[in-house]
Structure 1
Amino acid sequence: MSTFDQIFLKYYHSLLLYGLKFIRDENDVHDIVQEVFVTVWEKEKYTFSDAHLKSYLFNSVRNGCLNHIRHQSVVNKHIEKQELSLLINELNFYGSGEKSLIEKESLKEIYAAIESLPPKQKEMIELSRFEGLKNKEIAEKLGIPLRTVETRLFRALSGLRKVLTGKQIYILLNLVVRHKADNP
């Protein structure tokens, strides 16, 4: 058995477990560890002393995992931008009175979430989002302090963010914008 084979057998499992501390997907970690061993083979790093080699292997796996995480973050941001762009395009396309499929699917969940709010928070959402009133106008209409309106509205929106997805929040806010534009 060659020196490289011995090194592979000695460290592969440990490196795989080490990589799983950073990344949960075993297939991704397997690929990273394999790439580290390819580099060791191509650059003949298996001739290093045992202590130096071990340090090199674990550092390489850690760096490979961190690079993978950074790359996934960029990919995820790109996917979110693409999804949001598609959503915006669809909302604009169907903006002439007919609701998009996304809106139809989400509206029930949005309205159910609003209905589940405490009555005073629900009232704040309805006045600010559906009637288009500003916080000061709500305070005057209800005869309560502006700070109370702000607090109730903040709590209502925080509650909605906990139960709705980012897309549903976007749809809710977009419907308000369109509602205001349709009813000046």
Structure 2
Amino acid sequence: MTSRSPNPQSEISEPRGLYDQYSSWLRMAVTKRYGSQDADDLVQDIWVKLVPYESQAIRHPRAFLLRIASNLIADRIRRRTRSDRWQEQQAALQPSWEMAGQSDELLVKQVILSLPQPLRDVFVLSRFGGLTNDQIAEQLGIRPKTVEWRMTKALAHCAAQFRR
């Protein structure tokens, strides 16, 4: 009667010994399945995800490690998709005149220059300088409430000019 060694996939292993036993195999498997671009980071994340299971025996360690890898990849794809969607939404919220042609750009400049000086100062500092109302108030030496009022008037003026 010959004795066969048990199938390594069905061995029960402790997580502490998994690294020594499967680290090179895991790196190759991850590289083969998901490419070498982020393989090192992914393998590191897999070992980190394994920490909560230290007190448990793992019946199928290779399958378990690959499941963690698969879940991590799915999370990364989900995050990337969410990030891409957010960036698209932000781009859609940008004023259309930022991407306008030369004639539209000229019209925008004319509308801005037609604003009364106090309104124009607030508008330019807010929209082109990226300053908050408090920062604008401090720079111009006026109250933040005055900044709000001037910005409201400036936007109303611009909207009225573009409706023409």
Provide TM-score, normalisation by structure 2. 0.44
- Using CA pairs below 8 Å that are at least 6 residues apart, which structure has the higher relative contact order? 2
